[in-house]
Structure 1
Amino acid sequence: MTTTQQRTQQQRRVTVGEALTSVLPEGLPFRLTAYDGSAAGPSDAEITLHLATPRGLSYLLTAPGDLGMARAYVTGDLQVSGVHPGDPYDLINGLLGQIKVHVSPGEAIRLLRGLGLEHLKPPPPPPQEHLPRWRRAMEGLRHSRVRDADAIRHHYDVSNTFYEHVLGPSMTYTCALYPKPDASLEEAQADKYDLVARKLGLEPGMRLLDVGCGWGGMVRHAVREYGVTALGVTLSKEQAAWAQAAIEREGLGDRAEVRHADYRDVTESGFDAVSSIGLTEHIGRKEYPAYFGFLQDRLRDGGRLLNHCITRPTNRKVNVGQFIDRYVFPDGELTGSGNIITAIQDIGFEVRHEENLREHYALTLRDWCRNLVENWDACVAEVGEGTARVWGLYMAGSRVGFERNEIQLHQVLAVKVGPDGDAQVPLRPGWGS
Structure 2
Amino acid sequence: MALATIFEKIVGTDANIAFLAYDGSKAGPDGADVTLEVKSPIAVAYLAQAPGELGLARAYIAGHIDVHGDMYTLLDRMWSITTNDLTASEKLAAVRSLGVKPLLMRVPPPPQEMRQSTLAKLGSRHAKQRDAEAIHHHYDVSNRFYEWVLGPSMAYTCAVFPEETATLEEAQYTKFDLVARKLGLEPGMRLLDVGCGWGGMVMHAAKHYGVKVLGVTLSKQQAEWAQQAIADAGLQDLAEVRHMDYRDVVETGFDAVSSIGLTEHIGKANLLSYFSFLYGKLKPGGRLLNHCITRPTGKEKTFNKGGFINKYVFPDGELESVGYLIRQMEDLGFEIRHEENLREHYAKTLQYWCDNLDVNWENAVQEVGMGTARVWALYMAGCIVGFERNKVQLHQVLGVKLDQEGRSGVPFRPSVTWP
Give the TM-score range, shorter chain.
Answer: over 0.9
Structure 2 equivalent of residue 341 of structure 1? 326
The alpha carbon displacement at 1:115 in A equals 1.3
Which among 116, 139, 149 is matched to residue 122 of structure 2?
139
2:357 and 2:85 map into 1 onto residues whose CA distance is 37
- Name the SS of the counterpart of 2:85 in structure 1: coil
2:376 and 2:329 map into 1 onto residues whose CA distance is 32
State the Cα deviation string for residues 289-334 of structure 1 (Å, max 9, x = none). Answer: 1000000111111100000000011022424361100110000001
1:429 aligns with 2:414: yes
State the Cα deviation string for residues 199-240 of structure 1 (Å, max 9, x = none). Answer: 000000000000000000000000000001000000000000
- Name the SS of the counterpart of 1:171 in structure 2: coil
Which one-letter code corresponds to 1:402 in the other structure?
F
2:172 and 2:221 map into 1 onto residues whose CA distance is 21
1:56 aligns with 2:35: no
The alpha carbon displacement at 1:23 in A equals 6.2
1:21 and 1:159 map into 2 onto residues whose CA distance is 37
2:32 and 2:81 map into 1 onto residues whose CA distance is 14
**Structure 2 residue ranges without an equivalent (≥5):** none
2:271 and 2:51 map into 1 onto residues whose CA distance is 33
TM superposition score normalised by structure 1: 0.92
Which one-letter code corresponds to 2:190 in the other structure?
R
The answer to whether the 8 Å contact 1:28/1:99 transfers is: no
Which among 179, 183, 186 is matched to residue 169 of structure 2?
186
Aligned pairs for 1:312-351 (under 5 A) are 312-318=295-301, 319-320=303-304, 322-351=307-336
Distance 1:110 1:93, change over 3 A: closer
Of 53-62 and 323-332, the range deviating more from structure 2: 53-62
The total of aligned residue pairs comes to 415
Aligned pairs for 1:10-89 (under 5 A) are 15-20=2-7, 26=13, 29-83=16-70, 88-89=71-72
State the Cα deviation string for residues 358-380 of structure 1 (Å, max 9, x = none). Answer: 11111100111111111111111
Of 270-279 and 42-51, the range deviating more from structure 2: 42-51
Aligned pairs for 1:235-250 (under 5 A) are 235-250=218-233
TM superposition score normalised by structure 2: 0.95
Structure 1 equivalent of residue 358 of structure 2? 373
Distance 1:28 1:404, change over 3 A: closer
Aligned pairs for 1:2-401 (under 5 A) are 15-20=2-7, 26=13, 29-83=16-70, 88-97=71-80, 102-105=85-88, 107-120=90-103, 121-132=105-116, 136-318=119-301, 319-320=303-304, 322-401=307-386
1:212 and 1:303 map into 2 onto residues whose CA distance is 19
Which one-letter code corresponds to 1:168 in the other structure?
G
Distance 1:100 1:63, change over 3 A: closer
- Name the SS of the counterpart of 1:163 in structure 2: helix
The alpha carbon displacement at 1:138 in A equals 3.8
1:254 and 1:30 map into 2 onto residues whose CA distance is 56
Distance 1:98 1:111, change over 3 A: closer
The answer to whether the 8 Å contact 1:198/1:430 transfers is: no
Structure having the higher Rg: 1
State the Cα deviation string for residues 171-225 of structure 1 (Å, max 9, x = none). Answer: 0000001011110100100000000000000000000000000000000000000
State the Cα deviation string for residues 374-409 of structure 1 (Å, max 9, x = none). Answer: 111111111011111111111111011111111110
Distance 1:327 1:24, change over 3 A: closer
Which one-letter code corresponds to 2:197 in the other structure?
G
1:402 aligns with 2:387: yes
The answer to whether the 8 Å contact 2:18/2:30 transfers is: yes
1:309 and 1:209 map into 2 onto residues whose CA distance is 17
Distance 1:287 1:16, change over 3 A: same
- Name the SS of the counterpart of 2:141 in structure 1: coil
Of 237-246 and 311-320, the range deviating more from structure 2: 311-320
The answer to whether the 8 Å contact 1:195/1:431 transfers is: no
State the Cα deviation string for residues 268-301 of structure 1 (Å, max 9, x = none). Answer: 0000000000000000011001000000111111
- Name the SS of the counterpart of 1:29 in structure 2: coil
1:278 and 1:40 map into 2 onto residues whose CA distance is 42
- Name the SS of the counterpart of 1:418 in structure 2: coil
**Structure 1 residue ranges without an equivalent (≥5):** 1-13
1:273 and 1:135 map into 2 onto residues whose CA distance is 37
The answer to whether the 8 Å contact 2:335/2:399 transfers is: yes
Of 100-109 and 299-308, the range deviating more from structure 2: 100-109
The answer to whether the 8 Å contact 2:12/2:81 transfers is: no
Distance 1:413 1:60, change over 3 A: same
Quote the sequence identity (%): 57
1:194 and 1:394 map into 2 onto residues whose CA distance is 28
- Name the SS of the counterpart of 1:208 in structure 2: strand
The alpha carbon displacement at 1:37 in A equals 1.1
- Name the SS of the counterpart of 2:286 in structure 1: strand
Distance 1:299 1:336, change over 3 A: same
